[in-house]
């Protein structure tokens, strides 16, 4: 995708030394602050369509976009009824859910702003070579190939997997998310159509970061 920005491509090599114990490998060796959209589970509120809000200790999985919560026994579970979720606030951060994806919201005004999509792809297509090097053999597979029935299977088998983190800024207005494009910018800023057209005719690109996008939108906000 044109606006896609790859942040990191990480590979994991599990080293075993005689006499040294190791903690079990969780999430295929993907760090928790990468596997989830928030650094840790925190108190939050879930806002539903047509239902009262719910509270809990929440986080969002960046790999499969499921809302997770900690129950009374301390177990991590996947929230049901996700299709009715509109927004989730975790600590001080708010996420908008659109078309099954959670976007982190960066408001420009009370009604609109930048919506950041963060995606983590597990590289199950990589084979380990000599000295821990890796080689790609097939196209990147989505996390759905190793996630089934609400439980993580292949990523909990003691192995580590390379993974790719990608971020892409979108636009939001109300509860809807739009691709960051000239057409949608004109749609969201109808009074600035000529200015937006001139911006792109001058050869300026579509911004690729949240900061650059917000700085651009501020020029067109009333």
* For the chain, percent of residues with pLDDT exceeding 90: 51
Strands (E) located in the chain: 5-10, 42-48, 54-60, 67-70, 76-78, 85-90, 93-98, 101-107, 112-122, 126-128, 134-136, 147-148, 151-152, 163-173, 176-178
Give pLDDT tens digits for 7-61: 444 433 323 233 333 445 577 778 888 889 999 999 999 999 988 999 999 999 9
Helix (H) or strand (E) holding 1: none
Q: Residue 182 pLDDT more than 60? A: yes
Quickly state the pLDDT bin for 132 (edges 50, 70, 90): very low
Exposed (0-12), middle (13-18) or buried (19+): which is 82, by Cβ within 10 Å?
middle
Q: Residue 143 pLDDT more than 90? A: no
Give pLDDT tens digits for 51-94: 899 999 999 999 889 899 988 888 888 887 788 899 999 999 99
CA dihedral 201, 202, 203, 204 (to 10 degrees): -110
Give, in order, the Cα–Cα distances in Å from 62 to each of 67, 74, 82.
Answer: 9, 21, 15
Chain CA centroid to CA 162, Å: 17
Quickly state the pLDDT bin for 200 (edges 50, 70, 90): very high
Using an 8 Å Cβ cutoff, are 181 and 171 in contact?
no
Residue 71 is predicted with a pLDDT of: 86
Handedness of CA 147, 55, 167, 157 (dihedral sign): negative
Using an 8 Å Cβ cutoff, are 142 and 154 in contact?
no
């Amino acid at each position: 995708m044109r606006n896609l920005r790859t942040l990191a491509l990480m590979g994991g090599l599990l080293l075993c030394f005689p006499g040294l114990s190791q903690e079990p490998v969780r999430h295929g060796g993907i760090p928790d602050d990468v596997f989830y959209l928030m650094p840790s589970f925190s108190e939050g509120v879930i806002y539903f369509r047509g239902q009262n809000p719910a509270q809990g200790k929440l986080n969002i999985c960046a790999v499969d976009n499921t809302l997770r919560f900690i129950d009374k026994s301390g177990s991590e579970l996947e929230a049901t009824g996700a299709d009715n979720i509109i927004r989730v606030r975790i600590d001080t951060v708010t996420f908008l859910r659109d078309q099954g994806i959670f976007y982190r919201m960066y408001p420009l005004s009370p009604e609109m702003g930048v919506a950041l999509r963060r995606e983590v792809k597990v590289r199950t297509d990589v084979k380990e070579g000599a000295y821990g090097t890796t080689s790609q053999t097939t196209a990147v597979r989505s996390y759905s190939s190793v996630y089934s029935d609400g439980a993580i299977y292949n990523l909990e088998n003691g192995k580590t997997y390379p993974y790719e983190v990608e971020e892409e800024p979108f636009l939001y207005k109300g509860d809807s998310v739009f691709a960051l494009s000239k057409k949608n910018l004109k749609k969201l800023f109808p009074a600035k159509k000529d200015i937006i057209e001139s911006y792109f005719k001058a050869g300026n690109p579509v911004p690729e970061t949240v900061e650059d996008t917000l700085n651009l939108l501020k020029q067109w906000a009333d």
